[in-house]
A and B are shown apart, each in its own frame.
Chain A
Amino acid sequence: MTTIVATREKAGLALPLGLGLGVAGLFALSLCLGSVPIPAAEVGRALFAAETSPTAIIVQDIRLPRAILGAAVGASLGLSGAALQGLLRNPLAEPAIVGTSSSAALGAVLALYYGFAQISPLALPLFAIGGAILATVLLFALVGRDPGVLAIILAGVALSSLGGSLISVAINLSPDPHAALEIVFWMLGSLAERSMDQVWLAAPFMAAGWLMLLRAAPGLDALTLGEETAQSLGFSLSRLRALVVVGCACAVGAGVAVSGSIGFIGLVVPHLLRPLVGHRPGRLLPASALGGAALLLAADCGVRLIPSHQEFKLGVLTALIGAPFFLMLVLDARRRPGGWR
């Protein structure tokens, strides 16, 4: 028994190590990609050089924030997807699918185009987080405690279309005539042309969200055996729900505020990693954070490598990867006993 546990723990270390190395490699690759070709060795030097040469400015002011945001937003999305799935005990829950992302986007649009962001830059992440909290609370009110696949997808469709239509209203009524095009482009999701200011704006909220979500890990493990068992093991369900709802809202809201909406990372990553952590929802959280960071960094490298006259939007690429994946999961859920319920 002791040896089984020991072997499991060794295996448990290999995965985060591997994922961590993957994130580090993709982070470095992301720093090396851009419209100006810079050799890898020079990128390394420019990263730590005093900021005077054009190379140092490109690497430190343009590529570094993009890579940091890629890793951080990806981690937020992967972690949030895994946590929502653990809480709802369903593999189809995901920030974009359940409407959290579009509601965060609505908050961000309101902050950007109605002047709140000019009053204080903090308005942008705060409005996005507010939108995300509202959507997640509504989601729980709609689906109840032990929702089936159908309930989650229906509630998600309802909340996403609500967020989407309110964004349309905001575009329609915006005082800025160029707003429509800008909002639509921003909604597609991108990490291009971001600055360190945006990193500093979003990072504290994302970090707070991660901490809350990681603290939910033991409770999510216990919840596998149902709400009553989780309670009898000493967990407060209301505290657990609050941790996940507010944690997801902070992480996703702050992410959406700086990157626009990027979907499906939170669906694909936990699904791929779940068998590798023995299906334990708690252990899936850190793995999904690393996996999400790796996948979004990879996708962001991808959009820079795809030849097109205008850069491919990141959210479009993740949707192209994620949507077929989502279809497959829905079909898979139908085949299981109980079906869509």
Chain B
Amino acid sequence: MTGYAIRGLTVKRGDRAVLDRLDLDLSGPGVVGLIGPNGAGKTTLLKSLLGFLPPAAGEVAFAGRRIAAWNRAALACRVGYLPQGAPCAWPMTVADVVDLGRTPHRRARGAHRAADAAAVAAAMAATGVEHLSARSALDLSGGERVRVMLARALAGEPEVLLADEPVAGLDPHYQLQVMEVLRRLADAGRTVVVVLHDLTLAARFCDRVVMLNAGRLAADGPPEAVLTPGLLAEVFGVTIHVGRHADDLYVLPWGLSPPRRAAE
């Protein structure tokens, strides 16, 4: 039993259910795109998968065991997280920042210098940040910083990577670069769950798209099945043009249409 099993998950903020009786399985290699309007519960879902938020009802299990029953450090060895914004408080070097990704392993098994250094080097190579190694993490451009933080998450060699809007605010070049890193990770056998607002990126890079709306599952399936004009109009309240370029789907939000929120 690997991966996540989510059953009847309800998470409340005050009286409002941010996630409402959600059932979802996330396992096996692949990129899972998590989409939905602002406030749909995407970040809340990621935080629930990490055990940060206690469920009001239902449960989240990882590898067959309830998330609350996991030892934090043991879970950290298997699940990596890339939060929004990628803050850094001190001007540490990029190499030191990426090395922090090894922390869970060092705490679980003690320091293995060779293994730690190899994982850090591999993560920096995978995200193309080796040349930044000695730079201060505060002196980076937005794109560089995201790739450094991604390298930090990869250095932990997680089975599952949860990335919250990793391409927000990046130029197209960096967006594609980051998505390609995630794609390669999935091709190497990991589960990647990524929150995206760019529907074309979701169409191109994801094996599966999970669409949330008002805390509920609005759709779940391969990109062609989820990213349809009808479903997107219903959930996002926009008219959408879906087309094909070569073999790839592209999705263009075009105009506003009156939103019809999920059945209430």
Kindly state the separation between the CA atoms of A279 and B133 in the bound complex, as whole angstroms.
15
Query: Looking across the interface, which residue of chain A has its beta carbon closest to that of B104?
Result: A234
Contact of A1 among B76, B89, B117 (CB under 8 A): B117
Contact of A225 among B72, B80, B88 (CB under 8 A): B88
Kindly state the separation between the CA atoms of A183 and B30 in the bound complex, as whole angstroms.
69
A2 partner residues in chain B, CB cutoff 8 A: 113-114, 117
Asked whether B89 lies within 8 Å of A89 as measured between CB atoms, the reply is yes
Asked whether A5 lies within 8 Å of B72 as measured between CB atoms, the reply is no
Query: Looking across the interface, which residue of chain A has its beta carbon closest to that of B164?
Result: A228
Query: Looking across the interface, which residue of chain B has its beta carbon closest to that of A223?
Result: B89
Contact of A233 among B47, B76, B92, B113 (CB under 8 A): B76
Say if the beta carbon of A148 comes within 8 Å of chain B.
no
A218 partner residues in chain B, CB cutoff 8 A: 103, 106-107
CB A295 to nearest CB in B, in angstroms, measures: 22
- Given the interface contacts A225-B97, A228-B81, does A281 sit within 8 Å of B76 by beta carbon? no
68-124 of chain A: CB within 8 A of chain B = 89
Asked whether A226 lies within 8 Å of B83 as measured between CB atoms, the reply is yes
Max count, chain A CB within 10 A of own CB: residue among B86, B95, B96, B104: B96
Asked whether A225 lies within 8 Å of B152 as measured between CB atoms, the reply is yes
- Given the interface contacts A1-B120, A234-B72, A234-B76, does A229 sit within 8 Å of B96 by beta carbon? no
Count of B interface residues, CB-CB < 8 Å: 42
Query: Looking across the interface, which residue of chain A has its beta carbon closest to that of B103?
Result: A233
B96 partner residues in chain A, CB cutoff 8 A: 278-280
B104 partner residues in chain A, CB cutoff 8 A: 233-234
Contact of B83 among A224, A229, A234, A236 (CB under 8 A): A229
CB B226 to nearest CB in A, in angstroms, measures: 27
B88 partner residues in chain A, CB cutoff 8 A: 224-226
Say if the beta carbon of B58 comes within 8 Å of chain A.
no
Main DSSP-derived SS at the B contact region: helix
Query: Looking across the interface, which residue of chain B has its beta carbon closest to that of A235?
Result: B72
A221 partner residues in chain B, CB cutoff 8 A: 100, 103
Asked whether B100 lies within 8 Å of A236 as measured between CB atoms, the reply is no
Contact of A5 among B80, B90, B113 (CB under 8 A): B113
Kindly state the separation between the CA atoms of A231 and B120 in the bound complex, as whole angstroms.
20
Say if the beta carbon of B93 comes within 8 Å of chain A.
yes
Asked whether A225 lies within 8 Å of B149 as measured between CB atoms, the reply is yes
CB B242 to nearest CB in A, in angstroms, measures: 34
Kindly state the separation between the CA atoms of A220 and B103 in the bound complex, as whole angstroms.
12
Asked whether A232 lies within 8 Å of B81 as measured between CB atoms, the reply is yes
A222 partner residues in chain B, CB cutoff 8 A: 100, 103
Count of A interface residues, CB-CB < 8 Å: 25
Say if the beta carbon of A14 comes within 8 Å of chain B.
no
Asked whether A281 lies within 8 Å of B90 as measured between CB atoms, the reply is yes
Say if the beta carbon of B75 comes within 8 Å of chain A.
yes
- Given the interface contacts A224-B88, A280-B92, A281-B90, does A232 sit within 8 Å of B50 by beta carbon? yes
CB B162 to nearest CB in A, in angstroms, measures: 8
Max count, chain B CB within 10 A of own CB: residue among A226, A233, A236: A233
Query: Looking across the interface, which residue of chain A has its beta carbon closest to that of B118?
Result: A1
Kindly state the separation between the CA atoms of A312 and B52 in the bound complex, as whole angstroms.
53
Say if the beta carbon of B238 comes within 8 Å of chain A.
no
CB A26 to nearest CB in B, in angstroms, measures: 29
Say if the beta carbon of B73 comes within 8 Å of chain A.
yes
Asked whether B52 lies within 8 Å of A228 as measured between CB atoms, the reply is yes
Contact of B95 among A4, A223, A231 (CB under 8 A): A4
CB B153 to nearest CB in A, in angstroms, measures: 8
B89 partner residues in chain A, CB cutoff 8 A: 89, 223-226
B87 partner residues in chain A, CB cutoff 8 A: 225-226, 229
- Given the interface contacts A2-B114, A236-B72, does A279 sit within 8 Å of B83 by beta carbon? no
Asked whether B100 lies within 8 Å of A234 as measured between CB atoms, the reply is no
Kindly state the separation between the CA atoms of A222 and B103 in the bound complex, as whole angstroms.
8
Query: Looking across the interface, which residue of chain B has its beta carbon closest to that of A228?
Result: B83
B136 partner residues in chain A, CB cutoff 8 A: 279
- Given the interface contacts A1-B121, A232-B76, does A224 sit within 8 Å of B52 by beta carbon? no
Contact of A279 among B75, B77, B90, B117 (CB under 8 A): B90
Kindly state the separation between the CA atoms of A223 and B97 in the bound complex, as whole angstroms.
11
Query: Looking across the interface, which residue of chain A has its beta carbon closest to that of B101?
Result: A233
B114 partner residues in chain A, CB cutoff 8 A: 2
CB B126 to nearest CB in A, in angstroms, measures: 14
219-275 of chain A: CB within 8 A of chain B = 221-226, 228-229, 231-236, 274
Say if the beta carbon of B91 comes within 8 Å of chain A.
yes
Asked whether A231 lies within 8 Å of B75 as measured between CB atoms, the reply is no
Asked whether A279 lies within 8 Å of B91 as measured between CB atoms, the reply is yes
- Given the interface contacts A225-B152, A232-B50, does A278 sit within 8 Å of B93 by beta carbon? yes
CB A279 to nearest CB in B, in angstroms, measures: 4
Kindly state the separation between the CA atoms of A1 and B131 in the bound complex, as whole angstroms.
12
Kindly state the separation between the CA atoms of A233 and B102 in the bound complex, as whole angstroms.
9
Residues of A participating in the B interface, judged by any CB pair closer than 8 Å:
1-2, 4-5, 89, 218, 221-226, 228-229, 231-236, 274, 278-281
Residues of B participating in the A interface, judged by any CB pair closer than 8 Å:
47, 50, 52, 72-77, 79-81, 83, 85-93, 95-97, 100-101, 103-104, 106-107, 113-114, 117-118, 120-121, 133, 136, 149, 152, 156
9 tightest A-B contacts by CB?
A234-B76, A232-B81, A234-B73, A89-B89, A279-B90, A226-B87, A1-B121, A228-B83, A234-B72
18 A–B pairs (Cβ distance < 8 Å), ordered by A: A2-B114, A2-B117, A89-B90, A225-B97, A225-B149, A226-B83, A226-B89, A228-B52, A229-B81, A229-B83, A229-B152, A231-B50, A232-B81, A233-B104, A234-B72, A234-B104, A278-B96, A280-B96
